[in-house]
Structure 1
């Protein structure tokens, strides 16, 4: 069966899961800060819109052109092996060139952007771009001018004179246009702008900025990007307070880039021509040397045309071999004829149709064979001794002798001819064998000659191409759109107000969120219940304003009185559910630490119980730091004897009725026992038997006995006398009690060191009452706001 005190808390039990309504309520109860923050940022946005100098955006489109059209000196070099790699610039590289600080430095100097002229407007000053009545000339070197950071003020008073001052508050110095003005950097001269006459009524501020500072600004603000991936069409964008200035910057970027690339191409072409000229001179020298080598080689080797002479040598060698073979055949024929003639004693026919080259031998051979036939004929008819036969023998011998002589002579001639032909064959063979080497050597020299001639002719052609390029260099870009304006590009007012609304919500939200996240204190009964779930929470005491009354009154309908009535009702409900054997009407009031409102609660709880016509005794049990006596003294405005609790315990001669006094507080009668003097030994004093005697007596004489005791964690006083009370009001304070120290409360409850512990949350903001809902109290008079008060 559920007890009354558990049933009381079960009605307000909250789970640990996320509570959206509570979270929203955490912020909505501080709605005034959201309103103030939104109004603040809204006002800032309004003034931002009103005071911001408008900016204008300008853009242009260009298309990068490569060197693939065959122009430029690079193409002449690209066909050479040493320069065959692709040197076409990538789009990203060209973008880096156009947005580099060095490139922007040229833009600044061309447009004189480092010198600005400003005139005062209604809210802000505005720049006089190309409308300034004069211009500044420095009589200094460029290296000094480029690093000047200087301001001065000029008031034009006539077409020839002006007032000059360095600081706005300086005494003006009257100057004349065209005269030197001395500054800390050197001399400068102000010259009137061509065509300007009259007086400029507004003070002009001249600002001179270092060139690299302005170049860095342009580098960070001029945007160059391709309109699409891998596209050579680039979009150039820039914003400035002066529309014409934005256009001029973009157009000058394009013009300077185009001029720079043209100069680079011309320089490349000139360098190419110089390089080719040097190479032509070198190749010409090499070509002459090769020609001289060919002449020397042919002269030394006595050749004109190796191929034709080699053919002649082969033909001569073949003919010579044929002649050798013919002579050897003639020789063999002669040897055969010699063998056929035999000796002088024999006569035999010899061949006469051998085709010998010597006609006399053939004639003698024919005659010899003819006479031999005639002899043979006579020999058969006349015999060997026949004079005719003998005469024929002699004749044949003579012919044979002549033949032998002729054959011998022919052999000798043939031997001489063969030797000569063989020697000639040897010479021809050596010449034929030398031909391949000569031809190889000559071809090597001629090959070098051919290569040099080809290079020479190629370089002559490229020299002409590069020379033509110098007079016909094409630009590196094509302008698609000149610089044009998008108009004013300042932030849209709607966007700014939306941002103000966003930050107006964000700042209070972040502050409240951080405060809640870092908060370690309790603020209402819900926080206390989440920290301690098994102890009854009787109620909450509201935070009082300085003008509010600090003690309850009879028939009081204030928030303070109603909160104590609720606590009284809940206490009666809990007490009826308990079965205390003794001291059921004795209630201790304690807390964890000092300053949580024990005495305040004790006094008001006693008044609340006494307002029901009950007999109530309030005892000042905190004998170390008594507060009840000072409170009564402030109310009644008179000093009373402070004989009380400590005197009764320490001095047995003092009677109880001498320590208790009756008081009427706010028309409510209660009895009081003050703490008495602060003893030197509080803990030992509270262990006296007189303490039991005191509580036994007062518990029987009074309907309720409330004891204001010491903090439980700081001293042991309350724990020493806790057995004399059946109920304990344990006070915590919103915004003061740390959640961490509530572990002590849970420990003493778990160890049952205090009887009937009941929790009360003191000093709760009314917006945090209950579980965070601000409903107020039924029937309580409503406070009028400022508007209703003034309306009334």
Structure 2
């Protein structure tokens, strides 16, 4: 089986229906035109920013913490996270509030509405007496029809329906479902707007922010780039540009506030430590003053210097170690608190691992707090951060325990060493020893105090030098050309639809088609049986019968069938009834009788002696095919086949009549009257006598028989046929019933079966469809006529 698709044939199939394709295209191009005409255009605005991380513009507060050894250098912020922050509801709500996007004032046009943006260019000004909180949550629509410079008609709009107009005055309160509203002129010459209707819409700020949040598109300029492209489509180009510019401003404002809060937190912590150390330093100063005054100390003997120096070094190390121990305990106490609080990671622990963990904990906590502003604790990112914070807190607690144990061992070692030195210094006056202890403590606290004062000044300076997260590369701009609807894409899309709909229709029609249409269809279904040819469809206003010297398409098609039949007949070895041709079909209505008559006329036109036999005695149609309907002298009592078979005394010559049809003479044995027992009548012995006689007397005997599938008449007399022409009809014969014809041929129930397709559209001719018949006038197409003109 050949599954190759003949694409040329497929294309030609659809080109035959070109008029439907053209009609569909015209309709859809019209629809595209009206869509473009009545759809409000959208414009695109775009801006470009660059994210600036702390590696490029560092935060002084964080540099302070790095100097203190509290945190490590923070990683670059993820660009994806910053995109989410830019598209957060919080920022977009601030944009909507600043630009009054929840309020819309526009004039209704013939095709498109004209929106006033910013609102200050509108001819009227709207002021609500209710609080902003209520206005931000309300929805209201109304129109203002300006009737004079002092009055207007106020019309409430619910859905698509307008309420009853209410006369109102500019500057006076108008009651609405969300409270009073003051409407005042916003132009010096309101007379130009008299008779015009201004529409006002108030929408909830959350809904407006959500719509713009979804409308703003943010993309990276490159895979690893920190440059972001922001774009927005809107019916008002100035509104789109304002939204993008304001969004960038709000993003930078929020980032500055976040960094300022971080600096304030650092400065606050340092201030607390300064106050604590200043208090201790004051106590030491008082103590040393009282000691020296009371004991009148002026000098220390050189004998005690060696012991004292060694002891001083040991005591200093012990003090530093104890301080370290206290710091560890202080951080341990901070970790015992529930929840997630910032850990003071800048107290100068010597354990670098603990410092690193604390810094990482604070960084993750800052990211968590920032993300919570635009999300909630159930967000997978927040949950992941919580798990990391708990893990870091556990690691930090374990590290502090280990450090505390190690420092404790060191303290005990230093205390033992100091105890040995003190035993050697007992000989030194106690006053001198105490003086040295106080001075050492004073020096340590004083150096730490001065250091913290210096860092406090640096932290204070950082509060006024905080930089934003984004650098504006290109402010919002637009080429002022509409991007939607796109004329090219719209027309292209509608043209595609215009072509696809008729294509789909004819494709489905072909899929559901169960009938044959031409010779090619017949050859695909029935193989091994010769197809003599095709008979074209003739319009009702043309002659249906062959004429002498006829050059019509009908005449030429029968000449082709006659020629093909003669070729088969000459090469056939059959000798019995070789000149007897049966014409049959599967069902009625396939043009069998008219074909038989034209076949007889075509052969008779060559000078042959032809007899046409009407063997379809159940539904005789031969005479009605050629009789003159205007002939009132029609003799319905003429003898025929049934009379010959029923009357033993009637001879064949008495039943046969000669006729001259279209100047062509043929003999016709009509069917006769319809008998009550047609099958039994055709089984008569006289049938054999009939065909034996006429096959000798005539050159050709054409027999019009009954449909083979409906009755058995044809099969009863099929033995007398030398050849059988099996007629099918285009657009009428079902493909599935042709199995019956195939079965008849396979079982040899009809002798030498050949096929003919009747009533074929000239455009569907299997071969040479577009060429026509030689010698016939060629029909010129529409385009050919135009070219000629």
Instruction: Give the structure with higher Rg (CA).
Output: 1
Please confirm whether the aligned pair reaches a TM-score higher than 0.5, indicating the same fold: yes
Distance, in Å, in 1 between the alignment partners of 2:466 and 2:629 is 107
| 1:48-447 → structure 2 map (5 Å cutoff) | 53-68=40-55, 69-71=57-59, 86=74, 88-121=76-109, 123-130=111-118, 131-138=121-128, 145-146=135-136, 151-165=141-155, 166=157, 172-182=165-175, 188-193=181-186, 197-200=190-193, 202-272=196-266, 308=307, 438-439=415-416
**1:26 corresponds to which residue?**
13
Cα 1:469–1:767 shift into 2, 3 Å: same
* Distance change (3 Å), C-alpha of 1:100 and 1:311: closer
Q: Deviations over 1:522-564 (max 9, x none)?
A: 4322333344453222211112334334443444443223322
Unaligned runs of 5+ in 2: 284-303, 312-411, 421-436
RMSD: 5.0
What secondary structure does 1:721 align onto? helix
Distance in 2 between the 1:700 and 1:282 partners? 143
Q: 1:65 to 1:745 in 2, by over 3 A?
A: same
Kept after mapping to 1: 8 A contact 2:613/2:670: yes
Given the superposition, is the C-alpha separation of residues 233 and 437 from structure 1 closer, same or farther in structure 2, using an over 3 Å criterion? closer
Which runs of structure 2 are paired with 1:1-20 in the superposition (5 Å)?
19=6
Return closer, same or farther for 1:767/1:100 CA change in 2, 3 Å cut-off.
Answer: farther
1:505-654 aligned within 5 A? 521-612=515-606, 614-623=608-617, 626-628=620-622, 631=625, 635=629, 640-641=636-637, 645=641, 649=645
Distance 2:21 2:208 in 1: 42
- 1:355 is matched with which residue? none
Distance 2:179 2:671 in 1: 89
User: Contact 1:153 / 1:168 at 8 angstroms: preserved in 2?
Assistant: no
Change (3 A) 1:185 1:666: farther
Q: 2:720 aligns with which of 721, 724, 737?
A: 724
Give the drift of 1:92: 1.7
**Does the aligned pair in 2 maintain the 1:67–1:75 contact within 8 Å?**
no
Task: Report the counterpart of residue 773 of structure 1 in structure 2.
Answer: 769
Tell me if the contact between 2:274 and 2:449 (Cα under 8 Å) persists in the aligned partners. Answer: yes
Offset, 1:251: 0.9
Shift, 1:248, TM fit = 0.9
Which shifted more, 601-610 or 223-232?
A: 601-610
CA displacement, residues 367-410 of structure 1 (integer Å, 9 cap, x when unaligned):
xxxxxxxxxxxxxxxxxxxxxxxxxxxxxxxxxxxxxxxxxxxx
Q: 1:481 aligns with which of 470, 474, 478?
A: 474
Tell me the SS of whatever aligns to 2:744. helix
What are the ranges of 5 or more consecutive residues in structure 1 without an aligned counterpart? 1-13, 290-304, 313-434
SS, match of residue 265 in structure 1: helix
| Conserved 8 A contact 2:59-2:259 | no
Provide the rounded CA distance (Å) in 2 between the counterparts of 1:559 and 1:181: 86
Task: Tell me how far apart the structure 2 counterparts of residues 459 and 465 of structure 1 sit (CA, whole Å).
Answer: 10
Deviation at 1:71, TM superposition (A): 1.8
Listed one character per residue, the Cα deviations across residues 736-769 of structure 1 (whole Å, up to 9, x for unaligned) are 4455554444443333322222221222221222
Alpha carbons of structure 1 residues 468 and 769: separation in structure 2 relative to 1, 3 Å: same
1:198 alignment partner, SS class: helix
User: 1:43-98 CA deviation, whole Å, 9 max, x = no partner?
Assistant: 55555555554443322222212234442766667789997684653112111222
Partners of 1:499 and 1:275 lie apart in 2 by: 66
The number of residues matched between the two structures is 642
Report the TM-score, using the length of structure 2 for normalisation: 0.67
Q: Judge conservation of contact 2:92–2:209 (CA < 8 Å) in 1.
A: yes
The verdict on how the C-alpha distance between 1:436 and 1:254 changes in structure 2, with shifts beyond 3 A counting, is closer
TM-score, L = length of structure 1: 0.67
Counterparts in 2 of 1:464 and 1:534: CA distance versus 1, 3 Å: same
Q: Within 2, Cα distance between the matches of 1:666 and 1:467?
A: 121
Per-residue displacement from partner, 1:76-126 (whole Å, max 9, x unpaired)? 677899976846531121112223455334323332223333334454333
